[in-house]
Amino acid sequence: MSAAKLNHHAIWTIYLAEMSRMRRTFWQSIATPVITTVLYFIVFGGAIGSRIQHVGGIGYGAFIVPGLIMLTLLTQSVSNASIGIYFPIFTKTIYEILAAPLSALEIVFAYVGAAATKSVVLALIILATATFFTPLHIQHVGWMIAFMLLTAVTFSLFGFIIGIWAQNFEQLAIIPSLVITPLTFLGGAFYSIDMLPQPWRTLNLLNPVVYLVSGFRWSFYGTGEVGVGLSLAFTGMFMAICLTLVWWIFKTGYRLKP
Amino acid sequence: MPPMISVSALRKTYKSGLVALDGIDLEIEKQEIFALLGPNGAGKTSLISIICGTVGIGSGTVRVGGHDITQDYRAARAMIGLVPQEISLDIFATVWNTVAFSRGVFGRRPDPDYIERLLRDLSLWDKRDRRVIELSGGMKRRVMIAKALSHEPEILFLDEPTAGVDVSLRRDMWALVRSLRDKGVTIILTTHYIEEAEEMSDRVGVIANGRILLVEQTAALMRKFGRRKLTLALQHPLAYIPVDLSPWELELEQQGQVLAYAFDANAEDNGIPALLRRMAELGIDFRDLDTSRNSLEDIFVSLVEQTA
Ligand SMILES: Nc1ncnc2c1ncn2[C@@H]1O[C@H](COP(=O)(O)OP(=O)(O)O)[C@@H](O)[C@H]1O
Ligand SMILES: [Mg+2]
C-alpha cells in the first residue's frame, strides 16, 4: 500500500468506535447544552430580552441564537476531541493505534472527525431547540453550515492537541472552562460588541471568538460587526496553527511515543 | 531467505538521558520461536516496542519482512501483532467489539468467522458479549492476545506473556504459540525466566544493560549454562571429600554437612546414579536431597566472566 493511499477502513473503524463511545453518554451530553440553551432563552430572551428589544434590528431572542450555538460548538468540539484522545492515552490503549499501519493524518481524521461530528449534531439540536422560543430565518444556510463545520473541525483539532498535552483531568477541563467559555461570553455571543464602551470594544477585537460569532451571525441575519472575509481568514489561520502543532506532535512523538 | 526481523546498530536513549539500548544487532528467522531473555530493566520491552512502532526509534535500522520500519512503516506494522507487558483495554467495550476493532484498525475487512475461531481457541467465545470490565485478569490477558491476533499477523510479539498468569492460561498460551508457529507465524517472546525460554523457544537471545550478550540455539545454551546442582544433606558431617568421590568434582558446604554436585541436566548420563551407589558403598548416608537449576543470575555471571 502506498503512503498516499489512505487506510479508509481503519479510519472508519476508529471513527465508528468513537461515535459509539459518545453514544454511551449521548443523553448526558445533549442534556447539558439543551438545558443551558433553554435557560438562556428564559433568562436572556424572556426576562432581560423583553427590556432590550432589538439589537441591530433583530429581536434579542433571535440575536443570541448564533452566539449560543457557537458557545456549544466551541466548548463541545474542544472537550469531545480532547477526551477522545486523552482517554486512550490515559488507559494506555493508544499502543494499538500507534502499532497499527496508520499515518498521523489518518489518526487525526478519525478522532477529529468524530469529535467534530458530535459537536455539529449538538449544534443542530440547539438550533432546533431555539426554534421553540424564537422565530428564525436563516439567510445564508450554506454559509451557516460551512461556518459550523469549519469551526467544529478547527476547534476539534485544538481539542486534540489539548488532549495530548493534558496530563490529568484538571488540565483537560481547564481550557474549555477557563479560556473558551469566557472568550465566548466576552466575544459578543449575547450582545453586539458595538454596545461595549471603549476601550473594551477595541480590546475585544483581539478576542478570536468575536470573529467566529460575528461571521456566524452574518450567515443568519446578513449583518455582523466584522466582515465575513475576516471571520473566515481568522478561522483558517487558527486551523493552520493547529495543523502545524499536530504535525509537530507526530513528528517528535511528543507524549505519544517515548 | 532474508531474516524476518533484522535489527542493526540500534541505540535508544530516552528523554531522561537513559540509554536503554546500546547497539543491538539481531536477526530473527521466519517461523522460529525466539526468546529474549534478560533481567528487569535489560531493555526487552524497549526493543520490541521500537520494532512494533510504539516507541520512537533512536538510531540504527530495523527491518520487518524486509520493510524498513520508518520508511515503509505500513507494510512493516501490518505484519505484526503485539501483546504488551501490561493489560490495557477499553474496559467498557465488549470482548467481540474490542477484538473486531483491532482488526479494523489494521485495515483488514471484517471476518466474523475468523474472529469466532480466535475467540473459541482462546476460550473467550462464551464471553464475547461481556464487557471487558466484567472479566477476570486471566480473561483480560486472553483478550489482549485475541486483539493481537485479530488481523492474522505473520509475527507475534509476547512481552512477558506468563507474568502473573495461571496454569491453564499458560498451557493454552503455549499450545497456541506452537500451533501458530506450525502455521508459519514467527514468535518473539520476552521473559526473565530461564525455564520459560528453555521450554518454549528455538533460540534464545540473552540481553542485559541494553546489549545482546549472546544468541544461541536453546539446546546449545542449556548445554552450556543449564547446569543443575544436586545438594545432599548428610547424616554425619564430612571433614573432607573422600578420594573415591573425586571424579564427580563435588564441593563440601556448610561445615561439611552438605555435599554439592553440579551436573549437566541435558547429558545422556548425568552421573547421579553412579555417585549415589558409590556413596552407599562408602557408607556416606544422607537424610535429604534437592536439585536446583542455575539461575539467570548465574548465567549472567558466567557470561560476564567469559566476555571480560
Ligand atoms: N519511557 C521511558 N522513559 C525513560 N526510561 C525508560 C522508559 N521506558 C523504559 N525506561 C528504562 O529503560 C530501561 C529498559 O527498560 P525496559 O525496556 O522496560 O526493560 P525490560 O523490559 O527488559 O524490563 C529501564 O532502565 C527503564 O527504567
Ligand atoms: Mg519489560
Q: Is A4 on the interface with B (CB under 8 A)?
A: no
Residues of B within an 8 Å Cβ radius of A: 14-15, 52-56, 73-78, 80, 82, 84, 86, 88-93, 97, 101-102, 104-109, 147
Ligand 2 mean position to A95 CA, how many Å? 15
- Weakest-pLDDT range from A103-117, A164-178, A217-231: A217-231
Does one domain contain both B116 and B265? Answer: no
- Weakest-pLDDT range from A50-64, A65-79, A135-149, B263-277: A50-64
Q: Mean pLDDT in chain B?
A: 90
Give the residue with greater pLDDT, A118 vs A189. A118
For the CA atoms of chain A, what is the radius of gyration? 19
- Say what the pLDDT of residue A185 is: 82
Position B306 in a domain: no
Does one domain contain both B168 and B97? Answer: yes
Residue A192's SS3 state is coil
Does one domain contain both B271 and B182? Answer: no
Q: How far is A155 from chain B (nearest CA, A)?
A: 25
Does one domain contain both B15 and B125? Answer: yes
**pLDDT confidence of A149, banded at 50, 70, 90?**
very high
Over 80: is that where the pLDDT of B288 sits? yes
Chain B contact probe: residue of A95, A106, A111, A251 with most B CBs at under 10 A:
A95
Position B303 in a domain: no
Q: How far apart are CA B139 and CA B159, in angstroms?
A: 17
The segment with the largest mean pLDDT, out of A166-175, A228-237, B126-135, B253-262, is B126-135
* A253 vs B contacts (CB less than 8 Å): 56
Q: What is the DSSP string of A128-150?
A: HHHTTTS----S-HHHHHHHHHH
CA distances from A43 to A50, A178, B15, B117 (A): 10, 23, 53, 60
* A103 vs B contacts (CB less than 8 Å): 74
- Say what the pLDDT of residue B211 is: 93
Ligand 1 mean position to B138 CA, how many Å? 25
Does one domain contain both B43 and B90? Answer: yes
Chain A contact probe: residue of B15, B54, B144 with most A CBs at under 10 A:
B54
Give the residue with greater pLDDT, B255 vs A27. B255
- How many beta carbons lie within 10 A of that of residue A196, not counting itself? 15
Per DSSP, helices labelled H in A168-207 are 169-175, 181-186, 200-204
Over 70: is that where the pLDDT of A135 sits? yes
Q: What is the ipTM of this complex?
A: 0.87
- Say what the pLDDT of residue B198 is: 83
- Say what the pLDDT of residue A182 is: 85
Ligand 2 mean position to B48 CA, how many Å? 9
Beta-carbon contacts of residue B258 (< 8 Å; ≥ 6 apart): B231, B232, B233, B234, B252
Pocket probe mutation, ligand 1, options B18, B47, B193, B300, max atoms within 8 Å of Cβ: B18
Does one domain contain both B73 and B160? Answer: yes
A21/B52 touch (CB, cutoff 8 Å), yes or no: no
| Mean pLDDT, residues B286-296 | 81
- Say what the pLDDT of residue B3 is: 93
pTM of the predicted model over 0.90: no
**pLDDT confidence of A116, banded at 50, 70, 90?**
very high
Q: Which amino acid is at B114?
A: Y
Residue A8's SS3 state is helix
Which candidate from A10, A91, A93 shows the least CB-CB separation from B104?
Answer: A10
| Mean pLDDT, residues B187-201 | 88
Here the cell at position A233 is: 481568514
| Mean pLDDT, residues A143-170 | 93
Residue B90 near residue A81, CB atoms below 8 Å = no
Does one domain contain both B97 and B174? Answer: yes
Q: Taking Cα atoms as reference points, which of A200, A235, A198 lies closest to residue A216? A: A235
Give the residue with greater pLDDT, B282 vs A190. B282
Q: How far apart are CA A50 and CA B114, in angstroms?
A: 65
A225-254 residues touching B, CB cutoff 8 A: 253
Does one domain contain both B53 and B74? Answer: yes
Final residue belonging to a domain, choices B195, B223, B251: B223
Ligand 2 mean position to B116 CA, how many Å? 31
State the SS3 of chain B: CCCCEEEEEEEEECCCCCEEEEEEEEEECCCCEEEEECCCCCCHHHHHHHHHCCCCCCEEEEEECCEECCCCHHHHHHCEEEECCCCCCCCCCEHHHHHHHHHHHCCCCCCHHHHHHHHHHCCCHHHCCCEHHHCCHHHHHHHHHHHHHCCCCCEEEEECCCCCCCHHHHHHHHHHHHHHHHCCCEEEEEECCHHHHHHHCCEEEEEECCEEEEEEEHHHHHHHHCEEEEEEEECCCCCCCCHHHHHHCCEEECCCCEEEEEEECCCCCCCHHHHHHHHHHHCCCEEEEEEEECCHHHHHHHHHHHHC
- Say what the pLDDT of residue A175 is: 83
Q: How far apart are CA B225 and CA B299, in angstroms?
A: 6
- How many beta carbons lie within 10 A of that of residue B126, not counting itself? 10
pLDDT in tens, B61-72: 999 999 999 999
- How many beta carbons lie within 10 A of that of residue B249, not counting itself? 12
CA distances from B242 to A45, B238, B254, B273, B275 (A): 106, 9, 17, 18, 12
Domain ranges for chain A: 3-252
Q: Is A23 on the interface with B (CB under 8 A)?
A: no
Q: How far is B79 from chain A (nearest CA, A)?
A: 9
Here the cell at position B246 is: 573425586
- Say what the pLDDT of residue A6 is: 77
Q: Taking Cα atoms as reference points, which of B28, B33, B80, B83 lies closest to residue B52? A: B80
Q: Domain of B44? A: 5-223
**pLDDT confidence of A113, banded at 50, 70, 90?**
very high
Q: How far apart are CA B79 and CA B180, in angstroms?
A: 14
Q: How far apart are CA B205 and CA B124, in angstroms?
A: 33
Final residue belonging to a domain, choices B167, B188, B223: B223
Share of chain B above pLDDT 70, in %: 95
Length of chain A: 258
* A99 vs B contacts (CB less than 8 Å): 52-54, 77, 80, 82
pLDDT in tens, A3-12: 457 788 999 9
Position B61 in a domain: yes
Q: How far is A16 from chain B (nearest CA, A)?
A: 9
- For ligand 1, atom 3, name the residue with the nearest CA: B14
Q: How far is B197 from chain A (nearest CA, A)?
A: 25
Q: How far apart are CA B265 and CA B249, in angstroms?
A: 16
Q: Mean pLDDT in chain A?
A: 86
Q: How far apart are CA B284 and CA B47, in angstroms?
A: 52
Final residue belonging to a domain, choices B223, B252, B284: B223
CATH number at residue B274: 3.30.70
Q: Taking Cα atoms as reference points, which of B226, B184, B182 lies closest to residue B204? A: B226
CA distances from B180 to A61, B31, B80 (A): 67, 9, 13
Over 60: is that where the pLDDT of B295 sits? yes
CA dihedral B132, B134, B137, B139 (to 10 degrees): -60
- Weakest-pLDDT range from B46-55, B130-139, B221-230, B270-279: B221-230
Position B208 in a domain: yes
Give the residue with greater pLDDT, A211 vs B23. B23
* B91 vs A contacts (CB less than 8 Å): 91
**pLDDT confidence of A14, banded at 50, 70, 90?**
very high
Over 90: is that where the pLDDT of B56 sits? yes
pLDDT in tens, B195-248: 788 888 999 999 999 999 989 998 888 777 767 888 999 999 999 998 989 888
Length of chain B: 308
- Say what the pLDDT of residue A133 is: 82
- Say what the pLDDT of residue B36 is: 95
Q: How many CA atoms lie within 13 A of B282 on its CB side?
A: 18
Q: How far apart are CA B124 and CA B117, in angstroms?
A: 10
- Say what the pLDDT of residue A2 is: 43
Q: Which atom of ligand 1 is nearest to the CA of B43?
A: 17
Position B307 in a domain: no
Does one domain contain both B201 and B243? Answer: no
Does one domain contain both B175 and B278? Answer: no
Chain B: residue whose CA lies nearest to A91:
B88
Q: Which atom of ligand 1 is nearest to the CA of B21?
A: 14
A91/B54 touch (CB, cutoff 8 Å), yes or no: no
Does one domain contain both B185 and B95? Answer: yes
Chain B: residue whose CA lies nearest to A100:
B106
The helix (run of H) or strand (run of E) holding residue A244 is helix A228-252
- Say what the pLDDT of residue B297 is: 67
CA B151 distance to own-chain centroid: 23
Q: Taking Cα atoms as reference points, which of B6, B144, B50 lies closest to residue A96? A: B144
| Mean pLDDT, residues A111-124 | 94
If one counts the domains in chain B, the total is: 2
Pocket probe mutation, ligand 1, options B45, B52, B206, max atoms within 8 Å of Cβ: B45
**pLDDT confidence of B150, banded at 50, 70, 90?**
very high
Chain B contact probe: residue of A96, A254, A256 with most B CBs at under 10 A:
A96
- Say what the pLDDT of residue A200 is: 79
CA distances from A28 to A74, A90, A122, A255 (A): 18, 22, 12, 30
Which candidate from B89, B105, B109 shows the least CB-CB separation from A100?
Answer: B105
Does one domain contain both B185 and B275? Answer: no
